[in-house]
Chain A
Amino acid sequence: MTAHSQSRMPEEPHDVSRPEPHHVVPYFTIFIVLVVLTIITVAVALVRFPNEIVNVLLALLVATIKGCCVALFFMHLKYEGKLIYLMLIVPICLMLILVFALIPDIVMTDPGSSSASLHLFNAHPAIYNPH
């Protein structure tokens, strides 16, 4: 610490020039899109398709689209260099790895076999559990 920099009140980094908003981002349009998509998911959740998987996938799809909108426009990802994309791709890959690697433990277990590791509530069909 040199003597003159006594305090660390926020100070703009001096080596970097003031950031110029060189992009016109359609904030309001994005906002409207997000609102509409929110309404759509809620509507879908209330009406519901007979197939449960369709419901889940649809909800996740809409959420992903919304997430992309936020990330690309609000977070200016669309205008960033490859460095930041690089930093994001890694955790996303890891996320997929983690979730997919766990799937065999849940879905592919045969309840009869000893390797059926997952005896959660569904394995006990009733709430009546004889003690």
Chain B
Amino acid sequence: MKKAENTRGLVHGLAAICLVGLMALPVMAAPGIPQGFDANGEKIFKRYDKTPLAATTGTDGKRNLNSYYELRQYPGSPPMIPHDVDPSFSSKGLKCLSCHEKGGYDSSKNAYAPVTPHPENELCFQCHVPKHAKKLFRENNWLSIAPPKLGISELAGSPPPIPHSLQLREDCIACHTGPAAVAEIRVEHASRGNCRQCHVPFISTAPAKEFKRKN
């Protein structure tokens, strides 16, 4: 059922994009004379109102670093699941991947699904669990370290290094591009592809080592 909704959501989104294309065409054909636009204005505005923001802008704008870290216990911890999930995690564990493997728009949540950087691991509930309690069993004095700072380039304008461990997160594209990417870490030049040509690991959770020649 959910899956069907998803597809509908996607179709919805595509329709909206086509619509944008159609809108542009007459304008180009006859500059200054908006043919058909006035006559269909109401319909178009209604349609625009009904089209979710996400489908028109290519991002739902929902994920930022704040919400990203709210789901985590320390930098690099597996995030908890922020939405309802069938307790059986049924159908061969692949249900999560139907949204999170490639991403896409889910109208039931009015959101784009973030893409997992490790789709080869199918047993999602092994590391990711939902939240059902409002109160802790007992208080905890947990402390961790500050999340990595962004944009810590060595030189002005030089490409910033990768501030996090790559373990289970070596797929840059999954988290740093696309409509579900966290706003602050979304890159605009993903088309360059070979990320690690310019960005090298400088992991904030590892001690900094200086090069020393042996003898």
> A and B: partners?
no
